[in-house]
Amino acid sequence: MPYTPSLDVSSMDKSVDPCVDFYQYSCGGWQKNNPIPPDQTSWSVYGKLYQDNLNFLRGILEQAASSSSERDALTQKIGDFYGACMDESTVEKRGLAAVQSDLDAISELKSAEAVTPLVARLQFAYGRTILFAQGSTQDPDDSEQQIAEIDQGGLGLPDRDYYTKDDAKSKEIREHYVLHVQKVFELAGDDPEAAKQNAETVMRMETALAKAQLTRVERRDPYKLKHKMKIAELAQIAPSINWPGYYKDLQYPSFEILNVATPDYFKEVNAELTGEPVANWKTYLRFHLVDSFSPYLSAKFVDENFEFYRKYLRGAKEQQPRWKRCVQYTDRNLGEALGQIYVQKVFSPELKASTLDMVRRIEDAMGQRIRDLDWMSPETKQQALTKLAAIRNKIGYPDKWRDYSSVRVARDDFAGNVERAREFEERRDINKVGKPVDHGEWYMSPPTVNAYYSAQMNDINFAAGVLQPPLYDAKLDDAPNYGDTGGTVGHELTHGFDDEGSQFDAKGNLKNWWTKEDREKFDARTKCVQDQYAQYVVVDDVHINSKLTLGEDVADLGGEILAYIAWKGAESGKKLDPIDGLTPDQRFFVGFAQWACANERPEDLRLRAITDPHSPAKYRINGVVVNMPAFSQAFSCKAGQPMVNPPEKVCKVW
């Protein structure tokens, strides 16, 4: 892996006053030196590290793919998966034939009653949700148990808002989308006139579905997604679906209760199932099958998929080279097989020990912070401390690897490999129903450059990929490491106590543990953050939807405060000298800012303003430091400068 230090002075722009725009001061040089590559939709420290990981994994996969009789089972699987993906001429020759049997099943559809059994079949193998989403989930009232769940889905655009908003840009995107749907039908063999009509049918059906969906902001309220019921009750909401038959088709373990996340959506599905003729369902399903599987078909499908989803919607200029896509598909489909080899090479036991030590120090800081809060009652504090103590720390990779031995991977069948890997994951997910929760499970592969908190698991997870330079840098001093990775650890930890996560208790159950007064005070504090971020502009006249980003913004602020406290604790008694002209405190804050250095395309910013719960990079730094008096002290900023909030405007949640 190439090495870049986690604090890089050449990435700064010292001509900018840190008290005026700290992000620009810390990242101006990086932005100048790192233009967005044509095949990327944005470019960032995280994105660049992920590209380095892809390059590294490519080496592993090329070696695994070169045929040799001595390959073990794991090497054979990842090698042949990658090799089949790289075998473009075979993929090209097969064309649409790769999905022909499912297309035939759609064309043979004869009645409305036959739609759902077919949906069940297609849901199994195709990436995007077909009509709706299904699977297992933790019971919101008993997080140790897995139950069945169904949820909204079935749209081709990235969010329901694209179908409902009335501004000129949204209308333009809808027009482009209809043209894209038409193109997909033409590629699948329709004449242009039929393709045009079919595209209009798809758009009309999806619009009706979209209007019945919850918004992303509504979905941040866990109570809006909790509707546990018996199959018989679901049958009253959507009587035109034979639910016992549906679950039998998917071979679910038997169960009494399931969660219907979005009952209104299933009322709409029911209305469309009775209102739309079978011919329209054939059209809808055919589009979703071909569109969602396009990346794995022949070049004309791959190209059209790129043109609309990555180029038009997100601003990329060029398609990524094939090897890069094939590495990502292998990671996505056999992540814990590829990940085993990755962590052997990049994630030493020493690295695991040192990052775990940092995690523990930040948890201690959180405990201290909770005990010191001047606005919270002792009863709620006790509950918060209990929850903090119950958080599980998962570092790097799972203790027990997923067993892919039942997945057949063929060297000459890329699309089939993807289908079989997906079926394996679907089956694995469905089979959890009725079983106790596996706390060792990860929702991210080890090479992923990311981390997450799960409210129902009450655990924090840091993939090995996010604990590498230039994020965590064992060669550098603690200041930038705590500012950067320490802040990430604090961020994930704070998610357990943000406006959403704080509604779950120590066991991960959706259960209130706050006194009424404390909750009101807490809500007023998060409102401060919500109002602050609502002022920030993403692109043109689009502001941050701060009701969507609130949890992330609270986690960003809380996380950095915890990292600062933990760092001060770890360094107490040591005499630290300035390095490269930066004091230790300045290094902490520049280290923090440099995790987020990025260049972003306007198209991608616009899409993420609708879909991404995170604020744009610049505000994830500037929005935090204005609320940290330690920052103004570190840079001797004066009252009245943009990065200095007067005391009455400082938001303080945790």
Residues near Zn ion (CB under 5 A) are 552, 555
Residue 495 CB, nearest approach to Zn ion (Å): 6
Residue 140 CB, nearest approach to Zn ion (Å): 20
Nearer to Zn ion, 555 or 644 (CB): 555
Fill in the DSSP letter of residue 306.
I
Nearer to Zn ion, 489 or 555 (CB): 555
Residue 552 CB, nearest approach to Zn ion (Å): 5
- ∠ at Cα 268 (260, 195), nearest 5°? 125
Closest to 392 measured CA to CA, from 424, 357, 439, 358: 439
DSSP string, 91-132: HHHHGGGGGHHHHHHHHT--SGGGHHHHHHHHHHH-SS-SSS
How do strand 142-151 and strand 257-260 relate by DSSP bridges? Answer: parallel
Question: Which is the catalytic residue, given 8, 276, 505, 556?
Answer: 556
Residue 532 CB, nearest approach to Zn ion (Å): 17
Nearer to Zn ion, 419 or 556 (CB): 556
Nearer to Zn ion, 65 or 555 (CB): 555
Active site residue 423: no
Q: 3-class DSSP state for residue 494?
A: helix
Q: CA-CA distance, 448 to 450, in Å (whole number)? A: 6
Q: CA-CA distance, 389 to 507, in Å (whole number)? A: 11
Q: CA-CA distance, 586 to 195, in Å (whole number)? A: 60
Residue 325 CB, nearest approach to Zn ion (Å): 27
Q: CA-CA distance, 35 to 499, in Å (whole number)? A: 36
Q: Which helix (H) or strand (E) holds 448?
A: none
Q: What is the 3-state secondary structure (H, E, C) of 188-255?
A: CCCCHHHHHHHHHHHHHHHHHHHHCCCCCCHHHCHHHHCCEEEHHHHHHHCCCCCHHHHHHHCCCCCC
Residue 557 CB, nearest approach to Zn ion (Å): 12
Q: Report the Cα–Cα distance between both ends of the chain, in Å, rounded.
A: 37
Question: Which is the catalytic residue, given 492, 505, 553, 603?
Answer: 492
Nearer to Zn ion, 499 or 552 (CB): 552
Biggest alpha carbon distance in the chain? 79
Closest to 285 measured CA to CA, from 413, 104, 92, 95: 104
* Residue type at position 451: A
| CB atoms closer than 10 angstroms to residue 303 | 14
Using CA atoms, how far residue 1 sits from 35, 328, 335, 337, 465, in Å, is 21, 17, 19, 20, 11
Q: Is-contact 252 135, C-beta < 8 A?
A: no
Active site residue 108: no
Closest to 47 measured CA to CA, from 57, 56, 37: 37
Residue 55 CB, nearest approach to Zn ion (Å): 27
Q: 3-class DSSP state for residue 460?
A: strand
DSSP string, 312-328: ITT---SPPPHHHHHHH
Nearer to Zn ion, 6 or 549 (CB): 549
Nearer to Zn ion, 106 or 555 (CB): 555
Q: CA-CA distance, 284 to 198, in Å (whole number)? A: 8
Which tokens is 120 given? 């069940």
Find out whether the peptide bond into 470 is cis, omega within 30 degrees of 0: yes
Nearer to Zn ion, 463 or 555 (CB): 555
Nearer to Zn ion, 402 or 618 (CB): 618
Nearer to Zn ion, 488 or 599 (CB): 488
Catalytic residues: 492, 556
